[in-house]
Amino acid sequence: MLMNGAKAVIESLKKEGVEVIFGYPGGTVLTLYNEVYKDKFPNVLTGHEQGAVHGADGYARATGKVGVCFATSGPGVCNMVTGIATAYMDSVPLVVISGQVATHLIGRDSFQEADISGITTPITKHNYLVKNVHELPRVLKEAFFIARSGRPGPVLVDVAKDVFDAEFDYEYPETVQLRGYTGHYEGNETDIDEAVQALCESRRPVLLTGGGIVSSDTAQILQEVVEKLQIPVVTTLMGKGAIPDTYDYHLGMAGMHGTGAANRAIVGCDLLLAIGARFDDRVTGNANTFAARAKIIHFDIDRVEINKIVHSHVSVNGDLRWSLPLLAQKIQSTGDRLAEQYTAWRQEVKETNRAYPCYSRDIKNYVSPRKLMQEVRKRAGDSAIIATDVGQHQMWAAQFYDVTQSRHFLTSGGLGTMGYGLPAAMGAQLGCPANQVVLFSGDGSIRMNCQELETLANYHIPVKIVVLRNGVLGMVNQWQRMFYEKHYAASVLGNHADMPAVATAMGVKAFAVHDPGDLEEVLDAFFAVDGPAFIEVDIPPDENVYPMVPGGKKLDEMIIGGDDDHETTSGTAGR
């Protein structure tokens, strides 16, 4: 079928099942957008290219499908670099299609030229520069295959302007043939046998859930394992929701701002079963002392992650879609006995969980973060998808907001990208229209991509935005308060913008809560809005996130909080 390169892109997206694209036009992609217009292909015009890539990211995380975004050359796609890196760090499948200057102008410092392939090589799973229209179908087929297979990640396809214009006989490949890459990862079944044997020998095991469970859609299989073994569970930030937070022996998040129970369990366990987690420094604290008394079993698809940070005694290298069903099968005959074997340990960690709740003050004239999270959840319900920006509010959401389903907690974990939340929530809402999407943000983070408020209004995307207002860059301010002699350098926002007024000006219904007595009534009105809505809630300006493990310390060297200045250090955990 004869068509130009731009039309070939649209036809290829259809064949890959793409439902919507996020993007921003410019000179090198005008032919591409002309085909979008003629085809009436679903397209979201964001306020900024960073909003487009985060929108595609949120869509991908919430749905499990590949997110797609468009950008023009030079500054357009360079504005996506932060979003591409965000997706790369968290293993999110994206295909980023960018325009490039015409083939004969490449390498001449032409107007709006940037070597985006070179720029993004360290932060993409793979990338392409297409200078021949005949290569375009194959490249797109490969891009989607690479993005979604194996350990997912972003793939960049940079297309020269003249390739969009060139006509050729289009045919989309049915298969992909890549030398050295199949996207199929099965390991050694004997490694799983070793893992089961270690579980049989254990008396104090802990399961650590990572983001790999979410991205592989194996949460249901893992839940069957957990229910059979009745094993205590701790989670990474990216693994939140893989096992419901409401599970009786769920101890919460581990690490720097993990719960006292989770960190004590890791220190005191004799076996740590880590599934799809990469032992990020925010989880381990001092990696040399992490789970020092435990035998560590590590399930992961990426061989590079095995023994990279923490030594594992048993490693199961392979796709969780291969390994977890086998694990579930192999414990069927012994699971009941093992559950009985772990009884004393379960009771111990449950008592610890009751004894060390996450700390949150109730202060006159302010709403506590815990109270806010709980009241929002009452109204949003179990099926809500939660997105966050980055900072104190992110940690409070992880600590206090119970999530019961996989892919229902979206946050920038590895890169920690402020400004991620609003466009990601927008993408998630478009991908999952039957679910209410709620964004938690801070008064620092929300300003970074607040232009997407207008996008929500323009497309009537009913995201509910909850901003915790304390007048400071919360996490920065907390570190300065605790470790830099209260030198609040550049972390106090001062007379900052009236964000409810900004939201209103952009077409989003806005509310504010300055008196804690008004919270419930205003939240009722906020959730009753048909369409997007924005609420700003005053929280204490000097509220800290506790517990906290200072950088480089052991997990049992937590500052756990107290009624005076919160600065109480915990004792040694475990036995």
Q: Which of these three, 355, 382, 404, is where a domain ends?
A: 355
Q: What is the pLDDT of residue 563?
A: 52
Instruction: List the helix and strand counts (H, then E) for the chain.
Output: 23, 20
Query: 122 and 88 share a domain?
Result: yes
Q: Does residue 388 form part of some domain?
A: yes
Query: 157 and 21 share a domain?
Result: yes
Closest residue by Cα to residue 536 from 468, 470, 488: 468
Query: 339 and 404 share a domain?
Result: no
DSSP-derived letter for residue 66 is P
Q: What is the pLDDT of residue 567?
A: 45
Query: 302 and 225 share a domain?
Result: yes
Q: Which of these three, 301, 322, 355, is where a domain ends?
A: 355
Q: Does residue 175 form part of some domain?
A: no
Q: Does residue 561 form part of some domain?
A: no
414 token code pair: 């590895």
Q: Does residue 47 form part of some domain?
A: yes
Range of the domain at 490: 369-538
CA atoms of 218 and 566, how far apart (whole Å): 39
Main-chain phi, psi angles of 527, to 5 degrees = -75, -15
* pLDDT tens figures, 32-75: 999 999 999 999 999 999 999 999 999 999 999 999 999 999 99
Closest residue by Cα to residue 3 from 162, 166, 172, 174: 166
* pLDDT tens figures, 304-317: 999 999 999 999 99
79 token code pair: 């504005």
Angle of the 474-483 helix axis to the 392-400 helix axis, nearest 10: 100
- CATH label of the domain that carries residue 95: 3.40.50.970
Q: Does residue 563 form part of some domain?
A: no
Question: Beta strand 464-469 with 533-538: parallel, antiparallel or unpaired?
Answer: parallel
Q: What is the pLDDT of residue 14?
A: 98
In this prediction, what percent of the chain has a pLDDT beyond 90?
94
Parts of the chain with a pLDDT under 70: 562-575
Q: DSSP string covering 317-381, please?
A: ES-HHHHHHHHHHHTTTTHHHHHHHTHHHHHHHHHHHHHSPPP----TTS--HHHHHHHHHHHH-
Query: 155 and 22 share a domain?
Result: yes
Q: Which of these three, 169, 199, 219, is where a domain ends?
A: 169
* Residue for token pair 């690479």: 146
Q: Does residue 562 form part of some domain?
A: no
Q: Give catalytic residue positions.
A: 49, 111-112, 161, 475
Query: 118 and 261 share a domain?
Result: no
Q: Does residue 441 form part of some domain?
A: yes
Question: Beta strand 43-45 with 94-100: parallel, antiparallel or unpaired?
Answer: unpaired
CA atoms of 427 and 423, how far apart (whole Å): 6
pTM, full prediction: 0.96
Q: What is the pLDDT of residue 361?
A: 87
Query: 328 and 430 share a domain?
Result: no
Query: 123 and 245 share a domain?
Result: no
Query: 330 and 478 share a domain?
Result: no
Q: Which neighbouring-strand residues pair with 466?
A: 440, 535
Q: Does residue 465 form part of some domain?
A: yes
**Residues 211, 239: contact at Cβ < 8 Å?**
yes
Give me the number of domains the chain comprises.
3
Query: 425 and 517 share a domain?
Result: yes
- CATH label of the domain that carries residue 260: 3.40.50.1220
Q: What is the pLDDT of residue 360?
A: 84
Query: 135 and 198 share a domain?
Result: no
Query: 149 and 296 share a domain?
Result: no
